[in-house]
Structure 1
């Protein structure tokens, strides 16, 4: 074989030891950040690592040490299809990550039962957790829990709804304000020159993802569509019957509604109210998250578009980010960027 085509061997820990003029055991202690190595020696080893371009094989190191990453997902206990799909995607991702020595469990919490929430969060023992991925309202108890776990060396990521005022390491989810702006742009273009109001239905305005989507949506309405007036948010609490009843009442009380923005509520209830509503022209409806319900409604022509974030990507990204934080390795921004997907009837992915 031509020497020009022959690959250069990757530097090993033995190469680092020779370059730094220390023992292999000392290199191992530096790599694992164990005590008992003088500062000058640590600096010499790190200089050798940088000079040689040594990249540690963390998978092999963890296998040799029989290390298992212990992760916990804390999610709302809602029965909606998005949350169910997210939980299923997490279970699938964890199953496929077993070869990476990852174990994970999911804890379901109630966002409306504060006592139960406090009990579950205070029971989290940092001695039994390496990483936490949490989707919850941004409350003092949630921030305190994140701070307590971070202080004990637990990697923490916020999932779907961010916790920017906490000490979390990373946010896994798409930009909710941009998603709201996207929904606003689409809705305004679909409505066209019609003048009227927009009904807005959310799960809860206590949820940061709902709040940020609403803010983004309102900004676009103000900037680009003066012919449309968004109404105050209707909170349906992920209950299809509540969503149907409240949407129906809103449409009865506001005869000039021309569109509905489903920010993240139970879209089936909203759709039922739209179907039974008698209006001179069909009402435009934009929804978030692709589920079996929203897919059916897109195909039936009740929904016009769905703003989606892939639950499989969310689950896999959360696992990768927690592991990277545990290993003090860089997070690959391009890999972990959760894209905003715009889905209409004509570009729906195949049913799984």
Structure 2
């Protein structure tokens, strides 16, 4: 594996010992496939940092970003962290990524425990609000390792901060967009969640249901969940819902898998009169431009990442005056106001 980096730098980035990294780089036996993959990923991350001009920082904070989310979302998160890594002058945050589309709570807790025992300057976490994960967060904080939750919160844990949007307000915004489009009609809207274990998705659903009940009571709600944002599982759930409810006329997609949802409507020969989704990932951007999505509720992940870094630095510099945490603004994006950063 050709590369210009020192073994100790690769080991630092990968969170492995120098002996293990040396074994991988020299093709020696006795290395697990996952370990070799971590070394390759570390080299790729160092290359991206070098290209961005962050190869010689005065101070480096190594943090671990742990997420359960579909690949299309974690790819956007990775880009946001890499773009903001050098945004704090002489302080550079070097992120080590631990991503899984679906992971059992016990395995997520094991990942967090391994990070704690190995050592880190902080953990950024998108995880379900379940006891196993909460216990791992408590152990990290007891070890004086700050945990910042991203996009979905764990409010009943001692986490240092939350970075993300106001999810309940986002759900209310979706209800307004759907309700005004279908006002006065007696029909149903389909709400799709990746999993009801995520606090952020639950907050969006609560906000959506509250405003629909208050302002548009004639519109019913059908919910499907546990597709984890994956196309095959989400599509199957939506197809079953469409078969059961012939009056479903639109979608509020909280958990992703939007192409699969639209395909299920097409296969069923059913129109989708309004479709509200979250996040301007590559798939949603294409669907918005083609008119298949009505609105995308978007917030800037780079803003979230900067909030993460501020929270980490506040823990490192307790005497410094910390700026109050701010939730990211939610923007309603149509095909006609796509942000310049997303124009190709």
Structure-1 residue corresponding to 2:184: 193
Give distance in 2, aligned partners of 1:269 and 1:313: 29
Runs of 4 or more, structure 1, over 3 Å off, are 95-99, 109-112
Asked if the contact 2:195/2:227 (under 8 Å) is kept, the reply is yes
TM-score, length-scaled by structure 2 = 0.76
Deviation at 1:215, TM superposition (A): 0.9
Q: Cα deviation per residue 1:49-68 (whole Å; 9 max; x = unaligned)?
A: xxxxxxxxxxxxxxxxx753
Radius of gyration: which is bigger?
Answer: 1
Give distance in 1, aligned partners of 2:67 and 2:178: 30
Asked if the contact 1:132/1:157 (under 8 Å) is kept, the reply is yes
Distance 1:111 1:275, change over 3 A: closer
Deviation at 1:110, TM superposition (A): 6.1
Secondary structure at 2:280 match in 1: coil
Matched pairs, number:
284
Deviation at 1:96, TM superposition (A): 5.0
Structure-1 residue corresponding to 2:97: 106
Question: Does 1:338 pair with 2:328?
Answer: yes
Structure-1 residue corresponding to 2:66: 74
Give distance in 1, aligned partners of 2:87 and 2:302: 12
Distance 1:203 1:98, change over 3 A: farther
TM-score, length-scaled by structure 1 = 0.74
Asked if the contact 1:109/1:116 (under 8 Å) is kept, the reply is no
Structure-2 residue corresponding to 1:47: none
Deviation at 1:325, TM superposition (A): 2.2
Give distance in 1, aligned partners of 2:163 and 2:176: 24
Structure-1 residue corresponding to 2:200: 209
Spell out the pairing of 1:319-338 with structure 2 (5 A cutoff).
319-328=309-318, 329-333=320-324, 336-338=326-328
Question: Does 1:230 pair with 2:221?
Answer: yes
| 1:88 counterpart (54, 79, 82) | 79
Give distance in 2, aligned partners of 1:195 and 1:80: 37
Give distance in 2, aligned partners of 1:133 and 1:282: 37
Asked if the contact 2:70/2:100 (under 8 Å) is kept, the reply is no
Structure 1's unaligned 5+ residue stretches are 1-65
Moved more, 159-168 or 230-239: 230-239
Structure-2 residue corresponding to 1:313: 303
Q: Cα deviation per residue 1:158-187 (whole Å; 9 max; x = unaligned)?
A: 111101000011110111111111111111
Asked if the contact 1:200/1:260 (under 8 Å) is kept, the reply is yes
Secondary structure at 1:246 match in 2: helix
| 2:173 counterpart (182, 199, 222) | 182
Question: Does 1:118 pair with 2:142?
Answer: no
Structure-2 residue corresponding to 1:150: 141
| 2:337 counterpart (340, 344, 347) | 347
Give distance in 2, aligned partners of 1:105 and 1:112: 18
Q: Cα deviation per residue 1:116-139 (whole Å; 9 max; x = unaligned)?
A: 323212112367222221111112
Structure-1 residue corresponding to 2:159: 168
Asked if the contact 2:74/2:99 (under 8 Å) is kept, the reply is no
CA-based RMSD: 2.2
Secondary structure at 1:184 match in 2: helix
